[in-house]
Amino acid sequence: MALSFTTDLQSIVPFDLRQPERFDSVTRADFDDVIRRAGVPAIITGGMDEWSSVDTWTSPDRLAQLLGEDSTVFCRRVVQDAVTYTEDFIPYRFGDFLHEVYSIGESDHYLTQALVFEPEGFLRKAIRSSFPGLLQVLAQDCALPPFIEPHEFAEGIMWMGSGEQVTPLHYDPAENLNCTIMGRKRWILFPPDEAENLMVDGNTGKDGMLSNMDDLTAGGEWRGGPVQVAYDIETAPGQILYMPAGWSHHVLSCREPSAAINFWFVDHTWQTYKRYAHWQSRDRYGYSDEARRKPYSAAVFAGVMAMRATNRVAPRLVPTPDLEVGEASYERQGAT
């Protein structure tokens, strides 16, 4: 059974699928004290009021004007029944991509991980070397959500596709604010301590990759372990999905063009690192190892706090040359 945007997942799985709490007009204090502290996914509205892209990117004209049709962007090859996540970033002419997305409504390419918002300080240098392209010019139609500050995020990157893209079940080590500009997406989310229940076929869960939702629901039955907590969330333009660190997510784009920018964070609380460590401290079979968890989370927490302090006191510590639109400093071409 292939999980599609319209699959009635609740009729297949033996656990309740939850809906996120929704927040409007979030202040800095609300974000830290209520949303982040709760440690579960949430939908935030009102945080993208400054984004003209929500209105203007519904047609390709503005994007073509900003980036230029002859610019090169880097795309991931779309695999419908994606079993695993493959970062085969393919250089592609932006004008051709726009035509596929808006006019044909079908494309084998998924523009992912294009850096639009850069962090401050030395992180800037680190981020530059690991991302496939710089589309910073697009930032002028978007904005940092008002409840975060430039030194807090690691990167703000773009995702754009013609519809029906799949990003298979995986987790990321940082908190995430995923801001939808165009199109709807469905997110199936599980907290870090469910990771063992999502691994089938000998998958260890290392490097953030877990089983695929299609495998987990093959034959119309749940094939994973005894899951207690899962969310089934739909995002729409103007909405921001907050996802805590380490949450496994399987993402399906609806059958319409989609664009989003997500912000990953480096500015965390001790709670976040305890969660992060939950899935990092695994034994070689992929099972969570309680004894390694505490020292591991303490070490990661100390490391990130040091990085954050350095980033604050020494902004621009390592000067980075400005790049042109679409120019890449990315060195992992062909990597998976």
* Interface residues toward ligand AKG, by CB under 6 A: 159, 165, 167, 172, 176, 178, 185, 249, 251, 260, 262
Residue 254 backbone dihedrals phi, psi, to 5 degrees: -65, 170
- Report, in Å, the least distance between residue 195 CB and ligand AKG: 16
Query: For ligand AKG, which is the closer residue by CB, 168 or 293?
Result: 168
DSSP states of 160-206? EESS--EEEEE--SS-EEEEEEES-EEEEEE-GGGGGGG--TT---G
Query: For ligand AKG, which is the closer residue by CB, 135 or 251?
Result: 251
> What tokens appear for 176 in the block?
């995430």
Query: For ligand AKG, which is the closer residue by CB, 180 or 293?
Result: 180
Query: For ligand AKG, which is the closer residue by CB, 107 or 165?
Result: 165
Query: For ligand AKG, which is the closer residue by CB, 78 or 328?
Result: 78
CB atoms < 10 A from the CB of 200, how many?
15
- Report, in Å, the least distance between residue 260 CB and ligand AKG: 6
Cα(83)–Cα(166) distance, integer angstroms? 10
- Report, in Å, the least distance between residue 157 CB and ligand AKG: 8
Give the residue nearest to ligand AKG (CB).
167
| Contact assessment for residue 276 and residue 245, using Cβ atoms and an 8 Å cutoff | yes
Cα(263)–Cα(167) distance, integer angstroms? 17
Find, among 297, 307, 207, the residue nearest to 267 by Cα. Answer: 307
Find, among 82, 81, 72, 80, the residue nearest to 114 by Cα. Answer: 72
DSSP states of 84-101? S-----EEEEHHHHHIII
- Report, in Å, the least distance between residue 159 CB and ligand AKG: 5
Question: 3-state DSSP: the chain helix, strand, coil percent, rounded to 5?
Answer: 30, 25, 45
Query: For ligand AKG, which is the closer residue by CB, 32 or 87?
Result: 87
| Contact assessment for residue 263 and residue 271, using Cβ atoms and an 8 Å cutoff | no
- Report, in Å, the least distance between residue 101 CB and ligand AKG: 14
- Report, in Å, the least distance between residue 251 CB and ligand AKG: 4
Query: For ligand AKG, which is the closer residue by CB, 195 or 260?
Result: 260
- Report, in Å, the least distance between residue 290 CB and ligand AKG: 27
